[in-house]
Structure 1
Amino acid sequence: MRVIVKSDRVAIIAGILSVLLISLALVPGCLSGEPDAGNTHSLGVPATPSPGSNMTGTPEPAVSTNIPHITPRKKLGLTVNSAVRYQTLPGFNNKAGTGIAVINVSLTNNLATQYQLSREDIYIETEKDQTLEHGGDRLSADMASKYFHFPVRINPGETKTGSIVYIVFTGTTKNNLVLKDNNQTTMARVDLNRIYTYS
């Protein structure tokens, strides 16, 4: 049994490299340094320049491969224009420990069909309870005319702006306006504590 020493290994590797170089020299154009016609590889596949270079050899700035994260648009867009807390308002008979919140919102229908929003789909979430709107047909006619009437119907591409009135608990630390779709999937949650003004 013959033991291969280091010098034998070097000789074997050199022999393999020599055979490869001779093989490449026999294939036309492999070592010629001339570009293939039409900027193609020898197999006829178009050559792909490496990033940061072009076919003329002039360096180009590297192109970013970062793809922006795109969040799908929601069915209904919500903008809170204002949120005002009152102790009470004319026409209201709210109990002690409660106040009135008037939230002015813009609702945009991003669908191709009419959207119908029920009062259960837009509410104030606190640590005590969920608070539904208390306006529209629940008030006198002159008061109700100032607020959204539910269900609110919004045509495709339309934005409706109006106020929603809520009777809310005083002293709550969590005050989020939550908008859900008909499947009870949350479309928006707005922290009213950042927006509230007091009157």
Structure 2
Amino acid sequence: MNRTQVPLLFTLVSLLVLPQAGVAAPSLVGPDAATPRAARLLAPAPEAGPAGAPAVEEAQGSGRVPAELGLGLLVGAVGGVVGYIGPGGAACSSSGTGLSGCVTGLLIGTLAGVGVGVSAGVTWGGMLSDGQGEWFTGALPGMLVGAAVGSGAGLIADNALVALIAAPPLMLVGASIGYELSHKAHVSAQRVQPLVSVTPRGATFGLMGHF
């Protein structure tokens, strides 16, 4: 092979090899350039929109009720001791009907202290868990209903011990139910708002709610 054929052969080989290599190699510039993708090992979860609000509310409610019951039980026990020593002891010492009057005074004082403590503790637990219920219109009426049922059970059995055993847990459950009902009523009232719209034809009034 002479020297004049070497450049010609090199040119032919280059024309045959380089276009194929250009087709096989990924394009780094231009519209077909491959976009590098970072590895996503821990992708953030998408934020819940309005459709996830009921689930969030349900989760909050499931954590709020144990807080209400726990603090209601604790504060109710303290209130029962205070009621037994204070009003119950005073009623017992001032009773002129003997032992039966003393027992009745101690029972009334103890249940009164338990009731006040239970309703206050349930309200406190609900407030700490972002609850929007009320004591006066929620926990207190519910506690009174539970106290009435427990006292009625004691009267039917004609035994003060039955009332002392049955009334406190019923007052606790009743206070929690009453608080949750007032919470739902308050939240529902917040979701409905008056709406005023002004148009060239005049003003219109209505209600706007989130459901």
Class of the TM-score when normalised by the shorter of the 2 chains: under 0.3
Greater relative contact order structure (CA < 8 Å, 6+ sep)? 1
Report which of the two structures shows the higher radius of gyration computed on alpha carbons: 2
Q: Please give the TM-score of this superposition, normalised by the length of structure 2.
A: 0.27
